[in-house]
A and B are shown apart, each in its own frame.
Chain A
Amino acid sequence: MELIGFEGFAEQLLVELELQTDTSPNRETELVADLGFDSLMYAAALGVLGVLGAVVDDQALAQAFTLGDLYHLYAAGMVESGLSGIEAP
């Protein structure tokens, strides 16, 4: 699986979780205030990250407040999984 860019990531995440935003999703879109995240949705988001091939620490997920934070975890998780083609430092 290849690392996808933020726009593709955000679009896929919102589709899989059946979420909609009033405005175009961006890195500052807040998970709780704008998308209605709660603990079930955080767990579901963790599942989407896993399906995309990212290995993400669920403790770190609790510190994700925006879509940009989630993308950062996804990108780091792809490196961790070794699936992105990018080697971990």
Chain B
Amino acid sequence: MAPNSDLETVRLVGRNVMLRPLGQRDYDTLYQAEHSEALGPRWRLQGATVSPENYPQVLWQGVLAQFAVVERAMAHPIGTVCAYQAEPADGYAYFAVADLKTGGSPTRVSQGVFIFLAYLFKTWPFRKIYVQTMEYNLDRYRSMCGRLLVEEGRLREHHFLAGRYWDEVTLAVYRDVWERWESRVIAGLLPEAAGSQQWN
């Protein structure tokens, strides 16, 4: 094995999706999505609006790493993944995903989530990655709760939306659990999986 071969395990490209940097060409798409009826109240701005001029500051505030999830051979984002509020001294960061509901394969944004978590754990010595989500978005993570994700905290009736208060839930992915899943499960989403094709 070549001395630097470990570096090749830091991947942004999967078999079906890849993560690419967010650029100015994406800002209008994200701005529209973030202010849409379907996503706006449930996402970062929680129903508030920001000016197009200030949107890039909102988009990048507190961010450690952020990418667009794109499908093979397609340039437009189907989702975004983001790590923010990183605390290197304490070994944690927060993670967020947005599914832009572009109507493609429903698993592809989720594939992007796994590739991004692999990227975070490979690139920084995080002990755990937190997911902070409102109760109404918890279904996004339901199948992984008690498996890859563990609930670490809950602020009861924390946030108001649609006539009622909802819990805010903090989930966590621990490095040791992640590494178990990465070798047995996530590795199969990457190009070196048997028979898979490299990106052109």
Q: Are A16 and B184 in contact (CB under 8 A)?
A: yes
Stretch at the interface among B30-38, B55-63, B136-144: B136-144
Residues of B within 8 Å of A82, CB to CB, are: 195
Chain A binding site: helix, strand, loop or mixed by DSSP? helix
Q: Does A52 contact B (CB under 8 A)?
A: yes
Stretch at the interface among A2-10, A21-29, A32-40, A65-73: A32-40
Chain B binding site: helix, strand, loop or mixed by DSSP? helix
Residue among B113, B142, B194 making CB contact with A36, cutoff 8 Å: B142
Q: Does B109 contact A (CB under 8 A)?
A: yes
Q: Are A43 and B113 in contact (CB under 8 A)?
A: yes
Interface residues of B in 109-164 (CB under 8 A from A): 109-111, 113-114, 139-144, 147
Q: Does A49 contact B (CB under 8 A)?
A: yes
Interface residues of A in 35-57 (CB under 8 A from B): 36-44, 46-55
Residues of B within 8 Å of A81, CB to CB, are: 194-195
Q: Does B186 contact A (CB under 8 A)?
A: yes
* Minimal beta-carbon separation of B38 from chain A (angstroms): 16
Measured CB to CB, the residues of B under 8 A from A are: 15-16, 105-111, 113-114, 139-144, 147, 181, 184-190, 193-196
Measured CB to CB, the residues of A under 8 A from B are: 1, 16-18, 36-44, 46-55, 58-59, 61-62, 77, 80-83
